[in-house]
């Protein structure tokens, strides 16, 4: 059974700092991995999707890496801003047949202070 | 192109009543997924549907919960005889197709169910 863990559970940083969020998963047989952002009381916004064959993806100030063999992914946020404050979730999709369900971590709650 | 629509956004029910949650996928999407987020927990997969078919319901509780995605109209998640433990945020996601490693699931804003 796939388990996804995110560390740290919460993080507070001053504006302008670079930061790294960690995600680990127990079963390396994944199809892809996604990073999402969730604002309080809102839905999820997809940030980056990394295919199982890829090592990293970049979008603006965000960079996500994937080491499938060791079951790890990181989300790097450069020059953090108060608007980055949210909960960040990683999710993996299994590499089995028609399975499309995502397994989510419990998230990292990020607060960027002025 | 409107995103995934869910309604109602907030739903209050008393124990024993029925709850119906609706999800309209993005235009052109024929795959729908339902997830539940209990307080202070991560999102858990419930069910995956294509038009008129349930593909994977491995995350659905065996009793009181059902889901459908008819040929016409939104997908419906139905919870009969609700209990306090059903209080959660229920999220719907849709995708264009399954089978592509780049196929992103787009999430709706969720329905927050409160059972009194």
Q: Please say whether the beta carbons of A102 and A34 come within 8 A.
A: yes
Q: Please say whether the beta carbons of A105 and B45 come within 8 A.
A: no
Give A69's DSSP letter: T
Q: Closest-CA residue in chain B for A43? A: B109
What tokens were used for B61?
């509780």
Q: Please say whether the beta carbons of B5 and B91 come within 8 A.
A: no
Q: HEC profile for A39-56?
A: CCCCCEEEEEEEECCCCE
Residue with tokens 């969730």: A38
For B66-89, give the DSSP string: EEE--SSS-EEEEE-S--GGG-EE
The answer to whether A89 contacts B45, with C-beta atoms less than 8 Å apart, is no
Give B105's DSSP letter: P
Predicted confidence pLDDT, tens digits, chain A (114 residues): 899 999 999 999 999 999 999 999 999 989 899 999 999 888 899 999 998 999 999 999 999 999 999 999 999 999 999 999 999 999 999 876 556 789 999 999 999 999
CA distance B44 to chain A (A): 7
Provide Rg for chain A, Cα atoms. 14
Mutation site for B-interface testing, chosen from A2, A44, A50, A66 by largest number of B Cβ within 10 Å: A44
Q: Please list every residue in chain A whose beta carbon sits closer than 8 Å to the beta carbon of residue B4.
A: 43
pLDDT in tens, B24-71: 999 988 899 999 998 878 899 999 999 889 999 999 999 999 999 998
């Amino acid at each position: 059974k796939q388990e996804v863990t995110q560390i740290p559970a919460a993080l507070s940083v001053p504006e302008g700092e670079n930061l790294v969020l960690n995600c680990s998963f127990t079963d390396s047989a994944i199809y892809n991995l996604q990073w999402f952002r969730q604002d309080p009381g809102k839905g999820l916004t997809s940030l980056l999707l990394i295919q199982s064959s890829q090592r990293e993806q970049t979008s603006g100030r965000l960079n996500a890496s994937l080491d499938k063999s060791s079951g790890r992914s990181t989300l790097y946020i450069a020059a953090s801003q108060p608007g980055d404050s949210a909960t960040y979730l990683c999710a993996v999709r299994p590499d089995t047949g028609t399975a499309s369900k995502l397994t989510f971590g419990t998230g990292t709650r990020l607060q960027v202070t002025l | 192109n409107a995103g995934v629509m869910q309604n109602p956004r907030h739903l209050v029910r008393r124990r024993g009543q029925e709850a119906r949650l609706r999800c309209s996928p993005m235009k052109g999407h024929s795959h729908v997924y339902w997830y539940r987020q209990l307080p202070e927990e991560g999102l858990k997969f419930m069910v995956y549907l294509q038009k008129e078919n349930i593909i994977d319901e491995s995350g659905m509780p065996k009793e009181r919960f059902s889901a459908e995605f008819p040929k016409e109209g939104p997908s419906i998640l139905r919870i009969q005889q609700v209990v306090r433990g059903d209080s959660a945020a229920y999220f719907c996601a849709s995708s264009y197709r399954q089978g592509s490693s780049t196929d992103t699931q787009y999430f709706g804003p969720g329905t927050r169910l409160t059972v009194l």
